């Protein structure tokens, strides 16, 4: 799973989401852990995107700000993730209506909001989703052909 977040959120809400996912034995690509000093950030992110069956986008006010500039790394990550069907936005400190003003495509995805339920419950539901979707179903949903 690939955790897409705004850089300013890496030590706060994104780290919390990552820890909750690890508590549920989910394999997650997270910049604070997956990026090594001296590595090319974009190459490492691309590898993380390619190897992930599912994307989680943590949508915070900082993420909305980054996406509205359209030049951020988060914007590039989101573009790659939007090509997949298994992409779940988590609204945290913002709303789907605010997201719709920045990226209607992401806002149209089914997701969760911490205004409606605690992050722990949201991550538990995501863990359940991961447990019921096979690799083949994930590839099919993402539009990836079985013949490569």
The whole-angstrom separation of Cα 43 and Cα 58 is 21
Could you give the CA distance from residue 16 to residue 119 in angstroms, rounded to a whole number?
A: 9
Structural domains of the chain ordered from first start: 2-141 (3.40.50.10140)
Per-residue pLDDT 10s for the chain (148 aa) are: 889 999 899 999 999 999 999 999 898 988 888 777 777 777 877 787 778 888 899 999 999 998 887 666 666 777 777 776 688 999 999 999 999 999 898 898 889 999 999 999 999 999 988 876 555 655 555 444 333 2
pTM as predicted: 0.81
Task: Please report which helix (H) or strand (E) contains residue 88, including its range.
Answer: strand 87-91
pLDDT at 105: 86
């Amino acid at each position: 799973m690939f955790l897409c977040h705004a850089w300013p959120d890496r030590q706060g809400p994104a780290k919390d989401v990552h820890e909750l996912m690890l508590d549920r034995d989910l394999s997650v690509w997270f910049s604070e852990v997956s990026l090594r000093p001296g590595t090319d950030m974009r190459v490492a992110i691309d590898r993380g995107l390619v190897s992930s069956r599912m994307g989680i986008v943590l949508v915070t006010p900082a993420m909305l700000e980054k996406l509205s500039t359209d030049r951020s790394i988060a914007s590039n990550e989101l573009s790659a993730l939007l090509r997949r069907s298994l992409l779940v936005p988590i609204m945290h400190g913002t709303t789907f209506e605010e997201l719709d003003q920045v990226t209607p495509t992401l806002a149209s995805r089914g997701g969760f909001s911490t205004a409606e339920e605690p992050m722990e419950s949201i991550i538990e539901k995501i863990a359940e989703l991961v447990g019921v979707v096979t690799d083949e179903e994930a590839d099919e949903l993402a539009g990836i052909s079985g013949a490569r």
